[in-house]
Amino acid sequence: MANIRAFIQETITYQLIIMFLNHIREFCETFGDIAYRFIQVLKYLFSFQINRKQLIEQASRFAVDSLPITLSIVSLTAIILAMQVAPEMVKQGGKDYIGLLVALTMVREIGVIMSGFAIISMIGSSQASELATMRVTEQIDAMNALRVSPFKYLFLPRVLAGFIMMPFVVIIATTTGILAGGLTAMSAAKDVTWLCYISSVWQGLYIRDINIMLLKAACFGGAISLVSSSCGYDAKGGARGVGIATTKAVVWSFVTIVIIDAIFAAAFYF
- pLDDT digits 0-9 by tens, 2-24: 666 665 666 777 677 888 788 77
Exposure pattern of 189-202 as b/e (b: 16+ CB <10 Å)?
beebeeebbeebbe
Average per-residue pLDDT for the chain: 86
The pLDDT > 70 percentage for the chain reads: 96
- Is the CB of residue 167 less than 8 Å from the CB of residue 218? yes
pLDDT, residue 173, reads: 93
Q: What's the CA gap between 50 and 262, in Å, rounded?
A: 32
Percent of the chain with pLDDT over 90: 34
- C-alpha span between 188 and 199 (Å, rounded): 18
pLDDT score recorded for residue 71: 92
pLDDT at 188 over 90: no
Summarised one tens digit per residue, pLDDT across range 229-254 is: 998 888 887 888 888 889 989 988 99
pLDDT of residue 2: 61
pLDDT tens readout for residues 135-151? 888 888 888 888 888 88
**The pLDDT of residue 82 is above 60:** yes
Who has greater pLDDT, 1 or 105?
A: 105
Alpha-carbon dihedral 187, 193, 195, 197, rounded to 10 degrees: -60
Residue 200 has pLDDT above 90, yes or no: no
Higher local confidence (pLDDT), 217 or 236: 217
At residue 266, the pLDDT reads: 92
Which residue from 268, 269, 253 is spatially nearest to 115, judged by alpha carbons? 253
What's the pLDDT score for residue 1? 56
State residue 195's pLDDT score.
Answer: 83
